[in-house]
Amino acid sequence: RDHLKTEANLDDYDGVVCVGGDGMFSEVLHGLVTRIQTDHGVDQNQPDAELVPCSLRIGIIPAGSTDCICFATQGTNDPVTSALHIVVGDSQPMDVCSVHHNGVFLKYSVSLLGYGFYGDVLADSERNRWLGPARYDLSGFKTFLSHNHYSGRFLSCQQTTTWGIQETSCSVDLGAASVGTSPHQETSTMRRRRRKKSQVKTATEAGVSSTANL
């Protein structure tokens, strides 16, 4: 990510191929999109900013635990199939979501923005990467037993729904939601269970917007 953001001369490349899982793809995505916006003077901290589409393609040869992006774009996580798609020049446009909190850019995402149980599972699984895919089962079981509660509100976008390929953006402000709050009075048990992890709170209060196509 850091090399793409600062050092690489993008004019020397036709694309970027990464070998790994969804995490590796995320690193390349963040580095490339951030570099493009920086070169064009786009402030990523502005949720309503018009992001500049990336001219470079990102190729993925799957070697991760789940390979969600590969499954979503080509229906399989077979490395040979992915390599052949790259060789023949196949491409698949993807919508990119940006997450902001209090006017500060946090993350980009193309597959999933998780809050609550799923977010806690992923956060815990990062401490057990040596287990491989089994870490998700272990973390899911531990998170289930912790019996945490997650409060929030869903606010739908008011504008007409369109496909991202039409370059129409849709933004939703989720600032009304917060961790551990509810329209009903909390019980003492709920207060004891309330989570105060910053990453969970940030995800809850973030404004989400669909931006550019890759």
Determine the Cα–Cα distance for residues 95 and 40; give it in Å rounded to an integer: 20
pLDDT, residue 201, reads 34
pLDDT, residue 52, reads 86
**pLDDT tens digits for the chain (214 residues)?**
666 666 667 778 888 899 998 888 988 999 888 888 888 899 999 888 888 888 888 999 999 888 889 888 888 889 999 999 999 998 888 888 888 888 899 888 888 777 788 888 888 888 887 887 788 888 888 888 887 878 777 777 666 555 554 555 555 555 443 333 333 344 443 344 444 333 333 333 333 333 333 3
Q: How far apart are the first and last CA of the chain?
A: 16
Spell out the alpha helix ranges (H) of the chain: 2, 22-39, 68-74, 79-88, 117-125, 134-146, 188-193, 198-205
Answer yes or no: 90 catalytic.
Answer: no
The three-state (H, E, C) secondary structure of 27-76, written as one string: HHHHHHHHHHHHHCCCCCCCCCCCCCCCCCEEEEEECCCCCHHHHHHHCC
Strand order in the sheet with 104-109: 104-109, 95-101, 207-213, 171-172
Nearest to 49 by CA among 104, 114, 5: 104
DSSP code at position 153: -
Q: Say if residues 65 and 132 touch (Cβ distance below 8 Å).
A: yes
Q: Say if residues 124 and 142 touch (Cβ distance below 8 Å).
A: yes
Q: Indicate which residue of 2, 11, 22, 95 is catalytic.
A: 22
The amino acid at residue 119 is: G
Determine the Cα–Cα distance for residues 1 and 181; give it in Å rounded to an integer: 36
pLDDT, residue 173, reads 56
Determine the Cα–Cα distance for residues 70 and 125; give it in Å rounded to an integer: 21
Determine the Cα–Cα distance for residues 197 and 212; give it in Å rounded to an integer: 30
The residues pairing with 18 across neighbouring beta strands, listed in sequence order, are 60
Determine the Cα–Cα distance for residues 167 and 213; give it in Å rounded to an integer: 7
